[in-house]
Amino acid sequence: MNSTYFSDGLPTPVPDKQGPATPFWQGLVLNTLRIQRCRRCQSWQWGPEYICSNCHSFELDWIEVEPKGRIYSWTRVWQAPQPVLATATPYVVVLVELDVAPNVRLIGNLLGSGTQDAQVGAAVAGVFEHHAASHPPYSLLQWRPAD
């Protein structure tokens, strides 16, 4: 049985190991979601940077946050962008605003039927999807409707 949302064969995302997103990718492998927060102004930010986008401080920390939020926007994918996804369509892609980090929005798949209802404002929870057999191994953050 396949433990991943899509079939094997998709290109492997290879995060920049020396870039500012490294703590994010390392956290996913450990079932944690890490988001940047500025020590000086307390602003949350995404995508990862070396400098605060609000006050321009270099004093950024990676804070572990609960992977919960609300659907900010969504789309249903009907045409496969990769041949390996031809049998996976339709599927739903969501933009999720995190509950604890205002204005931080992450993208991912809404697990379940591709014809399911997706509502802006609906609560969702993160699901860590591990690809340990890939080279290099990696993890993704997917979303499911919250209970």
pTM for this one?
A: 0.89
Residue 147, pLDDT > 80, answer no
CATH number of 22-145: 2.40.50.840
Look at residue 109 in the predicted model and tell me its pLDDT.
95
What percentage of residues in the chain have a pLDDT greater than 90?
73
pLDDT at 3 over 70: no
Q: What is the pLDDT of residue 119?
A: 96
Give the residue extent of every domain in the chain. 22-145
Model pLDDT, residue 12: 66
Please write the tens of the pLDDT for every residue from 62-94: 999 999 999 999 999 999 888 888 888 999 999
Across residues 12-40, what is the average pLDDT? 88
DSSP symbol at 58: S
Model confidence pLDDT, tens digit, residues 88-125: 899 999 999 999 998 999 999 999 999 999 999 999 99
Distance CA 58, CA 85 (A): 41
d(CA 91, CA 86): 11
C-alpha–C-alpha distance, residues 56 and 84, integer Å: 42
Handedness of CA 130, 96, 64, 99 (dihedral sign): negative
**137 against 6, higher pLDDT:** 137
Q: How confident is the model at residue 1 (pLDDT cuts 50, 70, 90)?
A: very low
Structure tokens at 66: 């609960």
By three-state DSSP, how is residue 79 classified?
Answer: coil
pLDDT over 80 at 9, yes or no: no
Whether the Cβ atoms of residue 43 and residue 54 lie closer than 8 Å to each other: yes
Tokens representing residue 142 in the block = 């997917």
